[in-house]
């Protein structure tokens, strides 16, 4: 069965999918929700979608869609280095400094703010569904003064010229991609990229209870469960109502994590398990 990814061909997400599933056929989807829906419907075996970038933070669309709309389990994660380049149609390469519009995914635009502010000051920034959708658009409009921010694969796939390499603002630019699937078993850790196991939970605090978050964190702390991320997102039930997404640096076990969850539930919190899965580092 196929592996779905945020398309079209040559996104960073496809590159991540190739690393995790080198020999499986792949299917591109126009949007992250489309891709997750296809996995939920069983049209594809699993969906690979971006979750978090080191410079720009979470991909809220992925988080919110998984939590509110389509609660599929996370069965794996891969962290991939991200190199952003400026691509133009070969016809326009000699004049690239005159581009009037720059197309890309909003996260990619955000990763290159300093470059855009200094080198392409005044050029309009236009968000697209992905970096390769932007590259495809530029390839289809050879006479427009437009550029895309995308990767080398997209330059090759859509016949564009890289006129500026590595335009992301900070060297440490990595993105986390997750694999979600109807099948509950996590990916097999048998890969040279395997780096450990993680468990992700979503915690909704009871309303107006002093110290509730402190008590939740204590349930992990005294069990010496290391947390690698804690983030709040609106619960979408009213202003000031948030839930917390917590990554625990350990696989689900029989004692420690179930004990922490039971303790947190006893405080009046609601806990949802998003997955316990291996993570890989490229």
Which residue stretch of 8-16, 183-191, 197-205, 239-247 sits at the interface with ligand PRE (rule: CB under 6 A)? 8-16
CB of 8 to ligand PRE, least distance (A): 10
Q: What is the DSSP string of the chain?
A: --EEEESSTT-HHHHHHHHH-TTS-EEEESSHHHHHHHHHTTSSSEEEEEEEETTTEE-HHHHHIIIII--PPEEEEEEEE---EEEE-GGGGGGGGG--EEEEEHHHHHHTHHHHHHTTTTPEEEEESSHHHHHHHHHT-TTS-EEEEE-HHHHHHTT-EEEE----SSS--EEEEEEE-SS-SPPP--STTEEEEEEEEEEEPPTT-TTHHHHHHHHHHTTTPPEEEEEEEE-SSSTT-EEEEEEESS---SSHHHHHHHHHHHTT-EEEEEEEEEEEE-
**By the rule CB under 6 A, 3 interacts with ligand PRE:** no
Positive/negative CA dihedral, 180, 242, 68, 204? positive
Stretch that binds ligand PRE, among 23-31, 129-137, 189-197, 217-225 (CB under 6 A): 129-137
CB contact at 8 A, 150 and 86: no
Residue number with CB closer to ligand PRE (128 or 264) = 128
Nearer to ligand PRE, 154 or 250 (CB): 154
Judged by CB under 6 A, does residue 130 bind ligand PRE?
yes
Give me the least distance between CB of 70 and ligand PRE, in Å please. Answer: 17
From candidates 86, 89, 92, 107, binder to ligand PRE by CB under 6 A: 107
Ranges within 151-180 binding ligand PRE (CB under 6 A)? 175
Q: How far is the CB of 50 from ligand PRE (least distance, A)?
A: 4
- Among 6, 35, 99, 160, indicate the residue that binds ligand PRE (CB under 6 A): 6
Told to check if 59 binds ligand PRE by CB under 6 A, we report yes
131 near ligand PRE (CB under 6 A): yes
Q: Which residue in the set 11, 139, 164, 276 belongs to the binding site for ligand PRE (CB under 6 A)?
A: 11
The reply on whether position 136 binds ligand PRE by CB under 6 A is no
Site string for ligand PRE, 64-103 (x = CB under 6 A): ------------------x---------------------
Distance, CA of 148 to CA of 8 (rounded, Å) = 14
Interface residues with ligand PRE (CB under 6 A)? 6, 11-13, 50, 53, 59, 82, 105, 107-108, 130-132, 175
């Amino acid at each position: 069965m196929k592996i779905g990814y945020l398309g079209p061909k040559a996104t960073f997400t496809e590159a991540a999918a190739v690393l995790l599933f080198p020999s499986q056929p792949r299917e591109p989807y126009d949007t992250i929700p489309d891709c997750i829906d296809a996995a939920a419907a069983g049209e594809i075996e699993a969906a690979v979608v971006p979750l978090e970038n080191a410079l720009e933070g979470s991909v809220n669309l992925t988080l919110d869609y998984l939590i509110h709309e389509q609660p599929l389990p996370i069965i794996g994660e891969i962290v991939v280095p991200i190199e952003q380049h400026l691509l133009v149609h070969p016809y326009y390469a000699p004049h690239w400094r005159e581009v009037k519009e720059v197309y890309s995914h909003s996260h990619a635009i955000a990763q290159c703010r300093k470059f855009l502010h200094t080198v392409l000051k005044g050029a309009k920034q236009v968000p697209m569904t992905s970096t390769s959708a932007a590259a495809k658009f530029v390839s289809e409009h050879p006479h427009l003064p437009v550029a895309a921010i995308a990767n080398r694969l997209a330059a090759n796939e859509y016949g564009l010229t890289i006129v500026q390499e590595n335009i992301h603002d900070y060297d440490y630019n990595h993105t986390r991609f997750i694999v979600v699937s109807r099948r509950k078993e996590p990916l097999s850790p048998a890969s040279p990229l395997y780096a450990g196991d993680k468990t992700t939970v979503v915690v909704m605090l009871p309303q107006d209870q002093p110290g509730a978050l402190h008590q939740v964190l204590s349930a992990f702390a005294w069990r010496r469960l290391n947390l690698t991320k804690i983030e709040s997102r609106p619960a979408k039930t009213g202003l000031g109502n948030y839930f917390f997404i917590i990554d625990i640096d350990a696989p689900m076990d029989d004692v420690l994590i179930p004990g922490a969850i039971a303790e947190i539930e006893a405080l009046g919190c609601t806990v949802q398990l998003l997955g316990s899965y291996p993570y890989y580092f490229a």
